[in-house]
Structure 1
Amino acid sequence: MQTQSLKFKILSVSLAVTLLVLVLLGSTLYFTEIKPLKSQVSLDLQNDMQTFIDSKIDLKIQGGIIGSAMLSLNQKVKDAVRNADSTEIYPILKTVKDDYAAKTNFQGVFIEIINAAGDSLLRSWKLDQPGGKRLQDPLIKQVFETRQAQGALIFGERGVTIVAATPILDNTEFLGATAMILGVGSISRDFAEQFKNTHGQWIMLVDKQYVNDKLGNTKAVDSLMPITDRYVVANNKWFSEEVIQQTKALYQASNGEQTSVYLAADKVVVDLPAYDESGKVFGRQVFIQDAAVLTEPLAKAMNNAWTTLIMVALGILILSSIIIGLIIRLVITPLQTLNQTITEVDQNGDFSLRIQIDSEDEVGRTAKAINHHLDKVNQAIHQANQVVGALAKGQLDKRIEGNFNGRLLELKQSINVSIDNIQQMMNALENTLKALSQGHFSVQQTSGQAQGAFGQMLNQSQNAMQNLSGIIREINEVMQTVSRGNFQNRIQVAAQGELDALKREINQTVHVLALVIDDITKVMQAQSNGDLTQSVGVACDGELADLKEAINHNAEHLNRTINQVMNASNTVSHVASEVSRGSMSLSDSVQQQAASMEQTSATMAEMNSAIETNAQNALNVDHLEHELQKNSVNAGQVMKQTINAMAEIQNSSKRIEEIVTLIDSIAFQTNLLALNAAVEAARAGEHGRGFAVVAGEVRALAQKSADAAREINQLIGDSINVINRGTQLAGESESVLAQMNDSIDKVTQMIAEIANSSAEQSRGVNEVNQALQLIDQVTQNNAALVEETSAAAQSMQDQADELEQQMQFFKTRNQKRLN
């Protein structure tokens, strides 16, 4: 009954789902495929017609651009536009229409020439009438602005035409433009030829309202055949009477940018807007074909859609049937087997039964999971029986080892934990007795869950361990504090027997160590504070006594060393102070000596310059004296010219007197300089002794120069007297001249001596000057060395003071601490 009920549910749900899917799929196909078919076919038809008309118009525009471009390249056209003379191009425009009609499919082709000012120079359809201004035409204006060829479908003076305009350029000079005007009647013929199987016809209509808005009246279309009250045909000659009448009968007017596809009689009509060069709608383009063009694709598409829907529905029904059969075979039948096995296990308690399903699907995996669970339950019950039987025999090493989950895992854990607790209690008692026998008193244990004799045994063992552990713990605590350097703790717990003796010995040992460490700490703290007079005085034995002696010996040795360092620091401080004061005094003296040497050097430089000038003057005087001697010798030979010679001698004598006066002045200045040099040499002491000797010699030479000058002055006076008596003593001139020659020789010798002395004096002064410069350099070096010595002495003084201040920190037995 349960199996039939499950099958019924599955069949009912499957059927419902199938019907729902069919309804949804049918609705989807209808709304997505069948219903939009008409709109899609209509849209495809519109696109085909739009593509056809656009391609034909573009073809005419490109042909017009090529024709106007070729015309713009004609030199006669360029000359006619430049010179405003259309005579040469008149024959070309006159035959252009007939030429195109004879050679192409274009029946109505016209040419217009426009100059650079935008005026129509010549029109092939009205050769004798100018066309006026053309820049109001948007297409022509765009060509003039961009200097590029342009073309468009427009409505103008000649109705609906295709105009292609090209600029006329001569190199970079803009001369105007050429325009080619073409009709669109050939498009109607092309359409009829291309779609003759569907009896296709194309007709263009013009909106009279557009014409009125553009031109201000409808004169341009009044002669055209009307289709409706608003629309007329684009040209009466382009379309046959049959096409016009058919359009009147079928056309359903649309306005603006509206598009439409509709059936009328046995025809399908496609109505598309026609745009001018500005993108405005100026009329309609109507395409008429047999209705089959629309109905046949629509019928075919609908048939395909219905066929698809039926095939899909059949496929869904077949698929549903297959799925239901598979569900019954793969799900329901295995579930029946599973239910039967579980029922037998529940009734018999036999966990060795298994579900006989071998499939690898979800049902098969479910059956395997149940079989695995039965295996685990059977294994858990078997192992539990084995463990409990071993426990009854006193065997505590048995456990449940299987891998279980859930309640089976809880059963396994409960049994294993119970046996573990029993074994832990037995092990704890064994470990306590074993630790006690080995002297381990820190073992802690509780009775835990033990009861009866096990609990009493564990409690007695624990009490004994606690008593022993208390004594051992205090001993360990005291020794641990001693190991950390704390000697104040003692063992306080009550003990008996050998443990009490151990307690007393340990306390006594810690007491002695505390005394020794305290005394050592006192000594070390005193030393850290600079007091070296303390020593360790507590009585002790063994290695502690050795430590005491070593510390006391170290303190005594340190005391002696610090005393010696303090004495040495005092001595060093005193010596450094003396050296510093001596260095400062020496530095002052050297600085004064350097300043004096600098002044002396400057003075000697000035004296050297003066002496060099004196020597040069002496050389000049010597030269003059030699000239005078030569003149005197010649005077004896020219006695006949005595009177004239006397006059010359008188003049020379005056000059000699001036020179002698100059020599006397130089000698006086030299004497002063020598005196100053002697004074400076005296100041220089031992270093100026050689300079004093030179100064004395210079002074003697200056004195001789002065004496010689006085003698020369006297001789000059005698010469003047002799010259005054020259006339009277002409007879004695020769003897006087001889005496005069002798005097001049002497003067020459004296002047030569003066010149030599002046040269020697200049060399001596130069040597003195060099010596003074060397002394000055040495003195400056000595001053620098003295300053360095003074700085070093001061630094040593500072270090000695610092050492003495540091030594004041210590207090020794032989002297008090310094403040």
Structure 2
Amino acid sequence: MKKSLTLKSTIWLFLILLTMLAGLTLWGLMRITTAQNNVSAANAARYQSYLLADELRQSSDDLTRLARTYVVTGAPDYEKQYGDIVDIRNGKKPRPKDYERIYWDFVAAGDPKPSPDTASIPLLDLMKKAGFTEQELGKLREAAANSDDLIKAETVAMNAVKGLYADDAGNFTKKGAPDAELARRLTHDANYHKNKAKIMKPVNQFLEMLDQRTGRAVAEAEAAAARALRLTLSIMSFSLLASAVAMYFLYRSLMRQLGGEPAYTAGIVQEVAAGNLAIKVELRRGDRGSLLHAMKAMVDKLSSVMGEVGESAVVLTRAAEEISATSQSLSQTTSEQAASVEQTTASVEQMSASIAQNTENAKVTDAIASRAATEAAEGGQAVSSTVQAMRQIARKIAIIDDIAYQTNLLALNAAIEAARAGAHGKGFAVVASEVRKLAERSQVAAQEIDQVAASSVELAERAGHLLGEIVPNIKKTSDLVQEITAASEEQNAGLAQINAAVNQVNVVTQRNASGSEELASTAQEMSRRAEELQEAIAFFRLAAPR
């Protein structure tokens, strides 16, 4: 499965691309700036070269003008100014500041110097420093070589004004009358202009070469600037296009991951937060892995789960109510059963007391029978005592019969109580049945003894001759009494077991009653919690079932 880029990775790639494009744009702008600086530098160099060249031309014109003025006026200031121009150009005197401006016109007119002096530097050195080529400087040297005739004519003219003339060595040491006409002719005739043109011709060629060179430099700088501008514009156009494409792909990536507009996604989240699970989430075609798709699955699942939880809460509430009702009924039944068990316990205790009394009476009867047998064996000396004893035996037998009858009733009552106790009373029912059987046997035996006693009374009068027959009967009576005693003891033991079982049933019943009450309380608490759960689920608005 193809793994898509994360939002963080996508944004980082977009930022890296923007940074690269910004870097390219900045590089292009730097190229433009450099090219513009080169153009400015070329123009500045051309302008500076033009100023230096113009200074050469202007100084030549100033020399001509001052020489002619001196020749006409003879004023020494013009001669001095003439010499100052030459010395400044040759670096023998300081250059005035902003020398390219109007200077000697103001000085020649007698005005103060328009600018202060600076350092002394030859014009030729300034030209070399400005980057003048050797060919250009060669033209200047050619002009300097051609200036000899003009300088000679100006020197002769200026000395003629002072009355000084050249000697054989060429030095102006010979004195004579000033010749102003000669001076004017030398500085104004055709030869002067020819010599001037001879000097200016290489200067003009120098200016042409300088203009061409600096023009080419400026043109090259401007062409480089134009290329840099075109390159920068291309880079910026490419950057804009690449940014637009990157923004488009970033938008597609975000939409693919979000599944829709962020505002729509935020609205879905707000609706879910408000409990509206019935909201319908619209997905784009083919959307299988966006945030909106996951939210739709979450909303559908939450709606389904909340619906099931709501139904379960209703069922739980009903079940809790049923459990509570059943628990209350069970608690009431258990309480009634506990009361019945207590009654049974009391009945068993009464039966136990009766059986104990029956046992005691049987023991007494056995003792009496033993004594009767002894007395009968001795010979019947006390027939009257025997008759009395027989009567007493009859009364005791009546008591035994009554006890047997009561025992039978108690056993029957115990059987009934055992039947009510259900499964817990099965063992008790068996014991009660055995007790009832023993009671019946005791009653039968008592009746038999009663019959025997009655016969004994009737025959007591004939005790003398029937003593031989009485002794076996007495022994038989003694045996029966012993059987009654044994049966009574067995009944007593059975009743003890019944009493223990009933006590255990009572304990279990009490526990059941307590458990029933706790179960009822728990059921009520569960019902309350179920109602709270229903109230909590009611916060959500679920979609209608399809």
Bigger relative contact order, structure 1 or 2, given CA contacts below 8 A and separation 6+? 2
> Per residue, is there more strand in 1 or in 2?
1
Greater helix proportion: 2
Scaled by the length of structure 2, the TM-score of the pair is 0.47
